[in-house]
Amino acid sequence: MIIVIQVLTLLYPGLPPPPPPPPPGARSTSLLCLLFLSPVSPSTSSRPQWILQRVPVVLPEKTEDQPTPHFLSEARLDVASGCDPDCHKKATRLSYWDLRRLLAFETLHSDGRLTETAIGIYGYNPNLNTSPAQRSRVRKRREIFGHDGRFSIAGQNFLLKFPFSVAVKLSTGCSGTLVGDRHVLTAAHCVHDGKNYVKGAQKLRVGFLKSKQRDAPQSTMNLTNHVEGGPALYTPPTKDKMKFQWIRVKRTHVPKGWIKGNANDIGMDFDYALLELKKPHKRRYMKLGVSPPAQRLPGRRVHFSGFDNDRPGQLVYRFCQAGEETPDLLYQHCDAQPGASGSGVYARMWDRRRGRWERKVIGVFSGHQWVEKLGVSQEFNVAVRITPLKYAQICYWIKGNFVDCREG
């Protein structure tokens, strides 16, 4: 019970202190009320706030047909790179022409046709593309065994409610996040291995969790924090069965920075892709946001949910502290397994203009980065930050115009 309250407090900052323990029969109702109770707003000065900023414009300029992809290799659910945080920080700053080349993109159509689109960049100031956290403390090596900080979410009244409902599964084995009424943000390596599109990318499908029964009974939440040798907090009800409803993908956009760059040091910086569905879904989606510096995040924490392979059929939620960051990457301490790649990393802060708390996707979970140093393997958990340029590009893919993409 204590762990559940702690998780709810992190999910919903500003919740009042929990009431005295209710009678045993009322516990489920109390948890439900706590989860969706409107937070008590602290003073304006203490609220972590979204800072609206003008973003540059990224516009398509010329589109050309490309050879048909092979679709031969299996999708890899992990990413390997020889460049650690120090390596990324020492990289030469990209020029305007470098950025134009790397933000050009390919579009894979459901009929197998492939096009490449050159882009133009307007209103971009390269001097602002720096990370204020480059002076942050060095991230310690992450141990992958021991305490597991992931929570399984069960019960359709929670799985189908925001923010958990924005998490979707890709037929290639990855996860994704709803960022429009027919758009899904995911990792580029889920559909492209850096050389060609993977098997299943042409007939890619997106899975939405839904109840197997039309009138399935209401269920309580299950936040199961698995600790080796310890009992689960709660066993999910057997009657509340869930299944995936699949929707085909119409178009897939992948930046050339991933396609041309994943063999060198900057490939991971562009490990993101946007999927356009053949028909709209009916769920609430999460807005995009420009990634703020880690020290401005509430509790310096990030959150994301995905479909980890070691828990088949379950949605797994986690939160953790952000570690180091570069202009394009965020190194965090979240526990995750293959299958979680492509999940949208989000934060919840106060929107002063709208006068409400709002969650926004600020990055894409790329996965575990393995680095060999002096014969020793080191592991980092990496998310690709949504920079102003990436925001402008992804927003244009979603909206189809730049007018609606000027404030991130």
Tell me the catalytic residues: 189, 265, 341
Relative orientation angle of helices 27-36 and 2-11, to the nearest 10 degrees: 20
Q: Is 273 helix (H, G, I), strand (E, B) or coil?
A: strand
Q: How far apart are CA 220 and CA 134, in angstroms?
A: 43
| Contact (CB, 8 A) for 383 and 344 | no
Q: How far apart are CA 120 and CA 363, in angstroms?
A: 23
Prior bond of 163 cis (ω within 30°): yes
With tokens 């304006």, the residue in question is 44
Q: Which amino acid is at 255?
A: P
b/e code 224-237 from CB counts within 10 Å (16+ = b): bbbeeeeeebbebb
Q: How far apart are CA 178 and CA 284, in angstroms?
A: 8
Cα end-to-end distance, the chain, whole Å: 38
- Classify strands 356-373 and 79-80 as parallel, antiparallel or unpaired: parallel
Q: How far apart are CA 219 and CA 92, in angstroms?
A: 53
| Contact (CB, 8 A) for 127 and 121 | no
Count of C-beta atoms within a 10 Å radius of residue 334: 22
Length of the chain as a residue count: 408
